[in-house]
Amino acid sequence: MTQFSQISPALCDLAKWAFTTRRVERSDVRGVSGNIAQAVPGDLILSEIVEIGHHKSIQLADRRNSASYPGDLVVLCVGDRYAPDQFLASAVIDGPMLDLAAGGGLAGRVDAKHGKVGNPTRLRALGLLTGPQGSVLNIANYALQDMPANDRVTVIGVFGASMNSGKTTAAASLAHGLSRAGHAVAGVKATGTGAFGDFNALEDGGTPAMDFTDVGMATTFRMPLERIEKGFDTLVATAASRGAEVVVVEIADGVFQQETRAILNSSRIRDRLDGILFTVSDALSAYGGVMLLESMNLSPFAISGMLSLSPLATAEAAEVTGLPILSREDLWSREIIDILVAPLMRHLREEVVAA
């Protein structure tokens, strides 16, 4: 373990800054506070990697992976984590040691883990970063300017039956297909855990992307619904102000995750959706998921996800749901966009009315 005689903000220049901190102006750092027990979600924390566990790398602010070594200095965000196939973690620092809850840059206390996942990477907290006024820096200080809801742009929501059902692939593919069909499109990840994978997937398909870290949240788990809604409004309105006619919005995790369930039950996000693409991994999830959505008076226009890789599962799901089952290649198709998605678009409906 590296020994430091004094904790100086100059150490931040040597540290690896995680993806969750990507909007932070690093020149704002003036000090390091030892009052780590007072940390709240989004606070910037300087830590030292002590023991490598499940996460063996850090996703950096410049959107590349950096292999981790004991003794590395890292700047992360304090945050909660919800990942059924990895960790349940809390934004709590109850001692000098803490856990790396997510490779995108979340630090806290791991409370539970999946049985097939190793122990978390362990960190030693060196202090919370403070700014020119002496207050602790939080990524909320660097959020986009709040904007009121935009009611002209089309919003397509991508939901999944569970984590790893294929939401990101479906969202990126749909956005790519919309772009190929000649529509101005943007991609938004409205909820989840800060990481560059989904962000990069959208941009790899030629779609400008934003996510909840742009509106000051390192994670949306345990965030008040009102704050998530406010962030959604700003992300969609910002995309529209930059020229988007259609915004593809991915909502993290599955329909039973607490924030996702709240969004689907009753929220401004739900009410703002012009269409839903639902992703699943098998036919039973397709059947049960569609029934659940319909019980909430929501009807997806199509199903996609991991299911679409299997011709047999696709046939089963099509039979029991009566919905189109779309592969990633289908979502790239202009014909599919014209048939299934174009009728949902607000700007096209306005053109028809004007004509």
Distance CA 308, CA 327 (A): 5
**pLDDT band at 104; cut points 50, 70, 90:** very high
Assigned token pair, 333 = 């198709």
**Which of 110, 139, 168 is the last residue in one of the domains?**
139
Please report how many Cα atoms fall inside a 13 Å half-sphere around the Cα of residue 308, on the Cβ side. Answer: 21
Q: Give yes or no: residues 168 and 97 share one domain.
A: no
Report which DSSP code applies to 98.
Answer: E
**Which of 112, 139, 166 is the last residue in one of the domains?**
139
Residue 319 buriedness (CB in 10 A; 0-12 / 13-18 / 19+):
exposed
Q: Give yes or no: residues 129 and 259 share one domain.
A: no
Q: Give yes or no: residues 134 and 163 share one domain.
A: no
Distance CA 68, CA 80 (A): 21
Distance CA 291, CA 234 (A): 31
Q: Give yes or no: residues 158 and 278 share one domain.
A: yes
Edge-to-edge strands of the sheet including 185-189? 209-211, 185-189, 246-254, 154-160, 275-279, 302-304
Structural domain contains residue 1: no
Structural domain contains residue 2: no
| Residue 159, domain CATH | 3.40.50.300
Q: Give yes or no: residues 118 and 159 share one domain.
A: no
Cβ pair 309, 299 in contact under 8 A: no
pLDDT at residue 355 in the model: 52
Structural domain contains residue 3: no
Structural domain contains residue 4: no
pLDDT at residue 351 in the model: 62
Taking the model in full, what pTM does it have? 0.94
Domain that holds residue 213: 154-354
**Which of 83, 113, 139 is the last residue in one of the domains?**
139
Quick: pLDDT tens for 180-206: 999 999 999 999 999 999 999 999 999
Assigned token pair, 4 = 């430091």
What length is written for the chain? 355
pLDDT at residue 5 in the model: 45
With CA atoms as reference, report the closest residue to 46 among 144, 147, 126: 126
Alpha-carbon distances, residue 142 vs 145, 169, 212, 215 (angstroms): 9, 29, 12, 8
